[in-house]
Structure 1
Amino acid sequence: MALQAEVIEFLIPSENNKTLFVWNLQPCLSDAEIYNCLCSTFSEFGLLYSLRVCENASQAEPGYYAVVKFFSAVDASRAQSATDGKTLFQHSPVKVRLCTKLNERGFHYRSYTLNSTKCQELANYYLGFNGWTKQIILLQNISGTEQLEDEEAKLLPSRNLKFLCVVEINFRNHAVHSRGVGVAEEDLENNKDPTEYIMKLRKVQKFAVQKAVSDAFQKVLLIILGE
């Protein structure tokens, strides 16, 4: 029997087959309690990208519905089959469906970049905390470099902070590495307070590193083979 393979990208999951719509959630619990219960339930099937609980429209019966996004279509399908029609944490059964209507109309989603925190969370889930490493190759202040050809600008202090970062992600168990580049910028607003300057310096450096990490992961595909 051939193994079922699934390709997972380091992008925000937007496909309908990775999104579940859950309704018939009764108002016996608060929205925060429902969120926690749903998160606990669906996390058993795979890594979640997001979970959103919303109150029913005013013209509908009191209660809630939820939208659950998985990184894996296989996990979403397993979760739907296992939870649809079950009571879960309430007395009446819930309804769980894969969101497919937009695909039937020929709607095409645009993929968006996954932020560095979610990229690392995804890598940790499938590869383990020791399955990859991050190394900063370059972190350089490039403030004002776009004005180097302006002789007068050379005499003036830069009014913004701009950093360039190059990061390398290594997947040592698979002999694979990927490099990413990130640029971050912060307006100084003519502020001469040294404490605030240091805070903004650290902030822009952090953002540059995060963007480089995200960029490095965008070049990677995870191929998941069955179990």
Structure 2
Amino acid sequence: MEPEVLTFTIPIESNKIVFVWNITAQLPEGEIYCSLQKVFSQFGPQYSLKLFPNAGVAEPGYYAVIKYYSSQSAKRAQAACDKKKLFQDAPLKVQMCGKQKRFPYKSLELYSNKCQELANYYLGFNGWSNRIIALQNITGVDEDPEEESEPQEQAKLTYLCVVEVTLPHHGVRSRGVGVAEENIQKQNDPLEFISKTGKVQKYSEQRALSNAFQKILLVVFDSGKVAVEYVSGEDDTVDCLTEKELQGLIQVNDFTWTPLNPGEGEDEEDWAELTFHEDTLLLLPLKP
């Protein structure tokens, strides 16, 4: 079997999504969730596990939707758990996701905490590290000083961060850029300014870390061995420059970036597009 290539993006492929149903209401909902997490985490790292109550016309109970980063993890979970009594008297029903309609947007970047979870699983806690190269207040650098601007009721605070991720065992280094912006309600309040500054710096660092991981591909073999490939982005200036040159570009506003809002994309999943075998849940059945 060919190795599987994993990216640091939100998984949306059908073969990475597993449905679990015929979950009875014998146990409390929280206990059911923990039981599902314990069972299905054995097959590989998960992006998400969501538990839903059955539709009103169905018997009391639940069904779950699990997203894996790896299609092989999803296949192993389905093969090992379908029609098995794992934490309840009745056997669970486990099915791979059916065909999905194509999403109108491209794959979304994983948020930084998810990137770290995925890297820790496949590379190990000591298999990678990161450091901040630059953290710059760029408030107002995109404004034209020659243009007359109308007075703004709210001031804005904007930070840019450059982070470098290093994979020492694979000889890979990747840099990422993140921008975060926050409105300041009370311009003369030093406490708010300090609080917002820390918040914006944190968000810009998280975005930069996520951006750095986008250039890294994990090649996972059946044996469990993991290789790494580095793929430069459309504009790889940030990876080619020395730290001194990079600092200079930021200061003279000759650096191109795309502002990102904190948490953007994390809830962009469209669960309504998913289908699987189970009429009682009022979802579309799989096509034969």
Residue-by-residue CA offset, 1:50-102 (whole Å, 9 max, x unaligned): 00010000011111000011111001100100000001100010100000233
Q: Equivalences for 1:176-187 in 2 at 5 Å? A: 176-187=172-183
Question: Paired residue for 2:278?
Answer: none
Equivalent of residue 213 in structure 1, options 209, 214, 223: 209
Equivalent of residue 137 in structure 2, options 122, 138, 141: 141
Measure the CA separation in 2 of the matches of 1:151 and 1:79.
60
Question: Paired residue for 2:97?
Answer: 99
How far 1:146 moved relative to its partner?
1.9
| Contact 1:31-1:54 within 8 A present in 2 as well | no
Equivalent of residue 191 in structure 1, options 180, 187, 191: 187
| Contact 2:184-2:192 within 8 A present in 1 as well | no
How far 1:150 moved relative to its partner?
3.2
Q: Equivalences for 1:69-88 in 2 at 5 Å? A: 69-88=67-86
SS of the aligned residue for 1:112 comes to: coil
Aligned amino acid, residue 145 of structure 2: E
Residue-by-residue CA offset, 1:87-136 (whole Å, 9 max, x unaligned): 1100010100000233xxxx324411110000011001100111011011
Q: Which has the higher helix share?
A: 1
Equivalent of residue 24 in structure 1, options 22, 25, 35: 22
SS of the aligned residue for 1:174 comes to: coil
Unpaired runs of 5+ residues, structure 1, are none
SS of the aligned residue for 2:145 comes to: coil
Question: Paired residue for 2:197?
Answer: 201
Measure the CA separation in 2 of the matches of 1:54 and 1:210.
30
Aligned amino acid, residue 226 of structure 1: D
Question: Paired residue for 2:242?
Answer: none
Aligned amino acid, residue 101 of structure 1: K
How far 1:151 moved relative to its partner?
7.0
Count of residues in Structure 1 that have an aligned counterpart in Structure 2: 219
Measure the CA separation in 2 of the matches of 1:43 and 1:80.
12
TM-score (norm 2): 0.73
Aligned amino acid, residue 102 of structure 2: H
| Contact 2:109-2:214 within 8 A present in 1 as well | yes
How far 1:147 moved relative to its partner?
2.3
* Percent identity for Structure 1 against Structure 2: 52
Equivalent of residue 114 in structure 2, options 110, 113, 118: 118
How far 1:189 moved relative to its partner?
2.0
Measure the CA separation in 2 of the matches of 1:13 and 1:30.
29
Question: Paired residue for 2:66?
Answer: 68
In 2 relative to 1, CA 86–141 (structure 1 residues): closer, same or farther, beyond 3 Å?
A: same
Unpaired runs of 5+ residues, structure 2, are 224-288
TM-score (norm 1): 0.92
Note the aligned Cα RMSD (angstroms).
1.7
How far 1:196 moved relative to its partner?
1.5
SS of the aligned residue for 2:38 comes to: helix
Question: Paired residue for 1:90?
Answer: 88
